[in-house]
């Protein structure tokens, strides 16, 4: 079921709350199948099952795709054009991306725009990981203590590039 829900998530990532709620409802219903978890809240069921929200998995998937693009794992011809921020070298990591201003609301939800703030907020030891597997492990460890893993409403703050008060 998860493969169907996550198919092409980097390209077709939903941004409207009604679409996000509809996707999470599928996983919410599936977690209620187990009788021992039926009376728990969605976030508690996810914690017991060690399942992150689908929203979190989309954000994580975006970061993995961006790591592959930035580190040249994909062919440059097949990737969106991203610019490194050469103005801000004093803070953060050396792979900071430049975020172009956008004039339309539609463009705000494109992959090349929506990932920049999240990527730029990651610590240097994560974005400079030597391999994709070490990047995944470091990213998971970095986000493991945050509410965004099991609470998809908190994940929406991260998806929007805004800090959540629960971090």
Q: Is residue 135 assigned to a domain? A: yes
Helix (H, G, I), strand (E, B) or coil at 97: strand
Residue 74 falls inside a structural domain: yes
45 inside domain: yes
Kindly list the distances between the CA atom of residue 68 and the CA atoms of 46, 97, 98, 136, in Å, as whole numbers in the listed order: 28, 14, 17, 11
Would residue 95 count as lying in a domain? yes
Residue 56 has pLDDT above 60, yes or no: yes
| 119: its two tokens | 């990527």
Mean pLDDT of 1-18: 63
Nearest to 28 by CA among 1, 58, 62, 59: 1
Tokens of 74: 């994909």
| 165 falls within a domain | no
Higher pLDDT, 118 or 162: 118
pTM of the model: 0.76
Residue 136 lies in a domain: yes
**Percent of the chain surpassing pLDDT 70:** 76
How confident is the model at residue 125, as a pLDDT? 92
Res 128: pLDDT: 93
Is 164 within the bounds of a domain?
no
Reported as a single tens digit per residue, the pLDDT across 66-92 is 999 888 887 777 767 777 676 665 567
> Does the residue 86 lie in any domain?
yes
For 117, the domain range is 2-159
- pLDDT of 120-162, one tens digit each? 889 999 999 999 999 999 999 998 877 777 776 665 655 555 4
Structural domain count, the chain: 1
């Amino acid at each position: 079921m998860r493969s169907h829900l996550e198919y092409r998530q980097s390209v077709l990532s939903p941004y409207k709350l009604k679409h996000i709620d509809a996707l999470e409802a599928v996983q919410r219903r599936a977690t209620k199948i187990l009788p021992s978890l039926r009376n728990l809240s969605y976030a508690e069921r996810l914690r017991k099952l060690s399942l992150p929200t689908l929203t979190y998995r989309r954000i994580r998937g975006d970061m993995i795709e961006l790591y592959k693009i930035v580190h040249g794992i994909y062919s440059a011809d097949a990737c969106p054009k991203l610019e490194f921020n050469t103005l801000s070298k004093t803070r953060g990591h050396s792979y900071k991306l430049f975020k172009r201003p956008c004039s339309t609301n539609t463009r705000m939800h494109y992959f090349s725009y929506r990932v920049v703030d999240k990527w730029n907020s990651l610590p240097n030891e994560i974005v400079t990981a030597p391999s994709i597997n070490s990047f995944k492990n470091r990213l998971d460890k970095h986000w493991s203590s945050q509410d965004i893993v099991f609470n998809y409403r908190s994940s929406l703050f991260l998806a929007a590039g805004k800090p959540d008060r629960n971090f």
